[in-house]
């Protein structure tokens, strides 16, 4: 029986974030929290292979109590077990501390029910760091395949997988021993429509709650602010810019507007230098 | 004690990635920012490159000509292709041996894969995708630290991150955020060969096949002219017009995140915080409203022309010149007038 694990994160929908014009700080209230999109695709891929190979799919998340909604969404997509790792003691954890918390949880799950493949999204859309997946994988000592776009083959007898990853120039096919860890691109699987049984199941499902003490006693020097080498020295909103000069087609007419545009562009030294080459 | 400022010299098939040159320029500047401390303490600071690969001595020389005073080089057939584990282990070995103070890595596909694994193994802090790097003082501590500034929450917040108690202070930077110093063939530097043996255990994941992308590689980051389209195109076909104007100007096609998320164009065209950081000589934004996440990726362009029907679109805030009008009228007219100009000069 195959055992997959996906580590997910609940994130604010960054496309909907507004900034308070008075204070320049982010207005968190009213911003919808969503399952990180890359993680959703990772869950979809794991659920697809879990069905194919008949096995178990465990999903974990570290976050505030409300993050259990993200787990329920994963149950809807076909996950069997959801674990919420939540405790005030974790607050302020940076990527290093977070990778410790997740890796220890994954290690415990792996000891009880050995894992074949661990999935992460390629990055979370709030921090965009892409550090937690690689960090957790190296702590576990699992081979790591980042930017995975396809699982070509999973051979449980011979204990290997063929995973395709996207690089800047092409695609690499990586053969890895199992267990292994990957970080997923959206292309790894399409998000399925929930099946009725999974949907009903998710309505009643209560994820398990893990804290900093139970069932794992975390080292308090390695979690939260104490366990985080990086901290925010300063934060604010991006610099405001003066609006540019604009010209309007409605006012100046099309041909005259475009003539002004080209004259202004070509009067610029940089643009003029490329125009010399292409004209 | 020597204060070491390290740059990972990314290379593929013996060709140095330009981001390595850009970061060597940054490291050089960081060293000048602590000159007062060096004068007071009598210490010295050096800019050093870290290079892993197979037959990469030319790359080491290139790094020296971009400002590295010394390059530590692991040159072995085992490193012919990039793989996370062996590269990570080799670099950890070098970090532990030489104890750098600062370590900068390009936030490329390869660099991001590597940086998270290295920082976690060494148990130090890593700040991703920095847009500003300085050496400066922080509260409740003496001496200067790496102040790493980056956008978060889709570019809505700019945060300065420090790593006070752990070394090296690590940061990744996306290509084109900083400008590369001019290559100087007269630069002198030392190449130090380092031995590192790859064990079978590090080869649990292997490359079995590489499928090169078809067609020419879209080099968005280093293009001199970019014409980008967004949701204002109204439909995916609008990119044909964008491409026509780009061709006329010898440029390439870019896009906003909205157009990529809508499935109108491939991700590799995306400009912005989660796409590519660009700094072309000419950037034309057509039908792009100018979400912060887009603006942080293209605001370093020399000349920005924005075309939008909405006079209040935020893109006009960072444009050099804005045109309020319908891109389906303005762009064809631009193509027409550009062709006339070329004809007149031919």
Q: Are residues A187 and A266 in the same domain?
A: no
User: Among residues A222, A239, A269, which one ends one of the domains?
Assistant: A222
Domain B220-345 has CATH 3.40.50.1220: yes
Q: Which helix (H) or strand (E) holds A204?
A: helix A196-204
Which CATH number is B2-203 given?
3.40.50.620
Give pLDDT tens digits for B61-109: 999 999 999 999 999 999 999 999 999 999 999 999 999 999 999 999 9
CB distance A246 to B321 below 8 Å: yes
Shortest Cα distance from A119 to chain B (angstroms)? 15
Shortest Cα distance from A204 to chain B (angstroms)? 32
Number of A/B CB contacts below 8 angstroms equals 271
CB distance A106 to A115 below 8 Å: yes
Distances (CA, A) of A24 to B107, B293, B313: 28, 16, 20
What is the number of alpha carbons within 13 Å of residue B276 lying toward its C-beta? 25
In this structure, how many other beta carbons lie within 10 angstroms of the beta carbon of residue A47?
24
A229 occurs within a structural domain: no
Q: Are residues A218 and A254 in the same domain?
A: no
pLDDT by residue for chain A (279 residues), tens only, comes to 899 999 999 998 876 666 665 655 666 677 789 999 999 999 999 999 999 999 999 999 999 999 999 999 999 999 999 999 999 999 999 999 999 999 999 999 999 999 999 999 999 988 888 999 999 999 999 999 999 999 999 999 999 999 999 998 899 999 999 999 999 999 999 998 888 988 998 989 999 999 999 999 999 999 999 999 998 888 887 777 777 889 999 999 999 999 999 999 999 999 999 998 888
Q: Are residues A169 and A269 in the same domain?
A: no
A238 occurs within a structural domain: no
DSSP string, B255-314: E-HHHHHTTSS-GGGBBSTTSB----SEEEEES----HHHHHHHTT-SEEEEEES-TT-G
Q: Are residues A55 and A188 in the same domain?
A: yes
Q: Are residues A215 and A77 in the same domain?
A: yes
A106 occurs within a structural domain: yes
CB distance B250 to A274 below 8 Å: yes
Percent pLDDT > 90 in chain B is 89
A241 occurs within a structural domain: no
Q: Are residues A207 and A257 in the same domain?
A: no
What is the number of alpha carbons within 13 Å of residue A161 lying toward its C-beta? 23
Determine the residue of chain A that is closest to B84 in CA distance. A144
Nearest to B233 by CA among B271, B264, B211, B261: B264
> Within an 8 Å CB–CB cutoff, is residue A130 touching chain B?
yes
As for how many domains chain A has, the answer is: 2
Query: Model ipTM?
Result: 0.89
Peptide bond into B168 cis (omega under 30): yes
Shortest Cα distance from B19 to chain A (angstroms)? 14
A227 occurs within a structural domain: no
Positions of chain B with pLDDT under 50 = none
Substitution target from B204, B225, B276, B317 for chain A, most A beta carbons within 10 A: B204
User: Which DSSP state fits A68?
Assistant: H
d(C-alpha B255, C-alpha B285), whole Å: 8
Q: Are residues A70 and A191 in the same domain?
A: yes
Torsion sign across C-alpha atoms B223, B227, B230, B236: negative
A266 occurs within a structural domain: yes
Query: CATH 3.40.50.620 region(s) of chain B?
Result: 2-203
Each as own residue / partner, the long-range contacts of residues A72-76 (CB below 8 Å, 24 or more positions apart, any chain) are: A72/A202, A72/A205, A72/A207, A73/A35, A73/A40, A73/A202, A74/A6, A74/A8, A74/A35, A74/A43, A75/A198, A75/A201, A75/A202, A75/A205, A76/A194, A76/A198, A76/A199, A76/A201, A76/A202
Residues of chain A neighbouring B306 (CB-CB closer than 8 A): 244
Give pLDDT tens digits for B221-258: 999 999 999 999 999 999 999 999 999 999 999 999 99
User: Beta strands of B65-156 (E only): which ranges?
Assistant: 70-75, 102-106, 126-127, 132-137, 144-152
Could you give the residue ranges of the DSSP H alpha helices within B168-291?
238-248, 257-261
Tokens (6 digits) for B246: 């780009």
CB distance A274 to B225 below 8 Å: yes
pLDDT at B15 (0 to 100): 95
Q: Are residues A45 and A162 in the same domain?
A: yes
Nearest to B243 by CA among B266, B221, B222, B213: B266
A233 occurs within a structural domain: no
Contact B128 A129 (CB under 8 A): yes
CATH number at residue A68: 3.40.50.620
A228 occurs within a structural domain: no
> Within an 8 Å CB–CB cutoff, is residue A145 touching chain B?
yes
Contact A139 B120 (CB under 8 A): yes
Domain that holds residue A97: 2-222
Angle at B193 between CA B189 and CA B195, to 5 degrees: 160
Query: CATH 3.40.50.1220 region(s) of chain B?
Result: 220-345
Substitution target from A38, A249, A250 for chain B, most B beta carbons within 10 A: A249
Contact A171 B213 (CB under 8 A): yes
Interface of A with B in 209-238 (CB under 8 A): 228-238
Mean pLDDT of chain B: 94
């Amino acid at each position: 029986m195959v055992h997959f694990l996906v580590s997910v994160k609940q994130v604010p929908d960054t496309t909907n974030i507004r900034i308070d014009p008075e204070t320049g700080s982010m207005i968190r209230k009213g911003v919808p929290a969503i399952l990180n999109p890359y993680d959703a695709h990772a869950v979809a891929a794991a659920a697809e292979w879990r069905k194919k190979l008949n096995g178990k799919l465990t999903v974990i998340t570290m976050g505030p109590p409300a993050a259990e909604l993200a787990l329920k969404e994963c149950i809807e997509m076909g996950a069997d077990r959801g674990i919420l790792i939540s405790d005030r003691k974790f607050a302020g954890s940076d990527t290093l501390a977070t990778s410790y918390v997740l890796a220890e949880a994954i290690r415990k799950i792996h000891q009880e029910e050995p894992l074949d493949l661990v999935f992460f999204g390629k990055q979370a859309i709030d921090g965009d760091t892409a550090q937690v997946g690689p960090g957790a994988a190296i702590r576990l000592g699992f081979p790591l395949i980042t930017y995975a776009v396809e699982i070509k083959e999973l051979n449980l007898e011979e204990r290997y997988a063929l995973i395709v990853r996207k690089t800047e120039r092409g695609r690499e096919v990586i053969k890895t021993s199992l267990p292994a860890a990957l970080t997923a691109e959206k292309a790894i699987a399409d998000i399925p429509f929930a099946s009725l049984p999974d949907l009903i199941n998710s309505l009643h499902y209560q994820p398990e709650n893990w804290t900093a003490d139970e069932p794992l006693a975390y080292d308090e020097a390695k979690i939260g602010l104490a366990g985080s080498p990086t901290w925010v020295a300063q934060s604010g909103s991006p610099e405001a810019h003066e609006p540019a000069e604009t010209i309007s087609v409605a006012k100046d007419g099309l041909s005259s507007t475009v003539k002004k545009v080209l004259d202004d562009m070509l009067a610029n030294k940089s643009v003029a230098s490329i125009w010399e080459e292409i004209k | 004690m020597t204060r070491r400022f390290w740059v990972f010299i990314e290379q593929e098939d013996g060709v140095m990635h330009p981001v390595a040159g850009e970061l060597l320029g940054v490291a050089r500047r960081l060293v000048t920012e602590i000159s007062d401390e060096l004068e007071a303490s009598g210490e010295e600071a050096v800019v050093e490159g870290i290079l892993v690969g197979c037959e990469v001595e030319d790359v080491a020389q290139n790094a020296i000509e971009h400002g590295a005073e010394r390059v530590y080089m692991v040159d072995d057939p085992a490193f012919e292709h990039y793989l996370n584990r062996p590269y990570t282990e080799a670099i950890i070995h070098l970090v532990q041996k030489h104890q750098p103070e600062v370590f900068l890595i390009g936030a490329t596909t390869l660099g991001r894969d590597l940086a998270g694994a290295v920082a976690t193994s060494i148990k130090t802090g890593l700040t991703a995708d920095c847009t500003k790097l300085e050496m400066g003082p922080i509260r409740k501590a003496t001496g200067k630290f790496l102040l790493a500034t980056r956008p978060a929450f889709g570019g809505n917040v700019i945060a300065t991150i420090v790593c006070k108690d752990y070394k090296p202070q690590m940061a990744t930077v996306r290509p084109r955020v900083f400008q590369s110093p001019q290559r100087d063939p007269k630069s002198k530097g030392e190449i130090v060969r380092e031995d590192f043996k790859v064990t079978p255990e590090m080869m649990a994941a292997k490359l079995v096949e590489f499928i090169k992308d078809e067609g020419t590689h879209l080099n968005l980051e280093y293009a001199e002219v970019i014409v980008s389209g967004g949701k204002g195109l109204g439909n995916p076909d609008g990119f044909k017009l964008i491409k026509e104007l780009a061709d006329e100007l010898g440029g390439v096609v870019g896009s906003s995140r909205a157009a990529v998320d809508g499935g109108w164009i491939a991700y590799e065209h995306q400009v912005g915080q989660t796409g590519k950081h660009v700094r072309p000589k000419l950037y034309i934004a057509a039908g792009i409203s100018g979400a912060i996440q887009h603006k942080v990726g293209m605001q370093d362009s020399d000349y920005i022309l924005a075309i939008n029907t909405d006079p209040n679109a935020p893109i006009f805030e960072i444009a050099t010149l804005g045109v309020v009008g319908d891109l389906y009228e303005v762009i064809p007219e631009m193509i027409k007038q550009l062709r006339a100009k070329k004809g007149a000069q031919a």
